Structure 1
């Protein structure tokens, strides 16, 4: 009997170790997949604050919360099941769909660059509703629709990274990535949109140093918002270009990836201790240039079709 109990305890210990290892694998995979989607995450963070511009300050956080719940619904109830079905029945379609999303990111980024130089917005101007509740509903709906596109790209990037894992692990990783990124993005967005209020509150304090910090926050917020817009656009183009170059390599067209790899390798060898950073910068710049050229080409075609 004691020997049987010892054997049972050994089995339990073995199962526990296996489960712990599996959780470690899932955690590592989720972290790796999430890190690859960082460019889209930056853009998501940069895009969302504009949906509360012009609304009452006391409605800013409730609106961000509504958008966050809509984002979770997009990821967990729509995109996650679709991704698992795709992985189970049409894994060959993951790379083309990922490339389609990458092309969309390049197109959106290139459109923003074109807007800067041309001074014209590519979106149609619509008359905003005068009713506050209707305006809020329209802004939340628009934000959730935009989030669906960005979330689809995030989930596709994560899926491509874990497509060889068991289906249960895929589901857990996608859920962890979706929930973690949503909390991170909308937590930061909430902080950003309330930063000016925090600054005004600090500016009313007695201590001169605290007032200076408050005034700095108020004056710095427009600069931060502008910087986020630029970073988000650059991230879209860079990530989209990188996805397309990698996708072409997977599909058998190795030339673009090889050119980028050789250029990065040459710079890395030439810069000594700064080699890894310089090599990464070359890869990012080359991916961004590729994405910008392709995005501009797509934008030109789209504009021709529209006209």
Structure 2
């Protein structure tokens, strides 16, 4: 009994893993990761800055974009310290409570990103299907309520998952498979029954990213139906063009997620470092690509960014 208590105490130390089989090249591997982190942090910070400082961007679409950039910043910061700590200094140890905290925030920002993408799909549906009522449907108050609902949904879901992990005993190897704490990895290290944890984790995945993806697809079915009913080809093109950035954001979120699932299910013979690199890419690709997509494909964001740069150059 005492041994079980020791296993569940906060004195447990987990060992994170860098890139298996390529430990001698960690310094070199860290270079592209540093570039990706710098791009993600600077790009999303710039998007947030221009939305806050430019009155022309104080509209529902850009409020949702600021939420997306916030979740991407949180996701990047959640993994930054442990990942670069391993690559630069070979710091692999992480305490039980610190591991659960990191896992909580990684999963929280992932759930929030999925929720924000759904909110953005609803925003595009309202803007295209009923443009005259757009401002009255998506008022500032309703956007605040949506934001609070997104945070509450993610927090409640992840709190339950963390509480269930804390009740487990960890008597096996404490070596995790990634350079950050991931819910399935931590759960697999337990020497007690994890069926409830597995069921809760699967339920959380289905009711968040699963449900969100279904409603995003449904939103675009309705958007396409509305656009095709527009007589003018030019108007149809303009309506579709307002969705391009969001479609790109959805793609860079779900494609790495699906790829990671396929590798774990069908890539049993793949080298261990393949799993690690894809898992790291899954968390880094959306924060890196979203600012680029919106800066390139959204004229208002591009103009605002150029205006900020021009203003800073003029002052210097």
Q: TM-score, normalised by structure 2?
A: 0.30
| Greater C-alpha Rg | 1
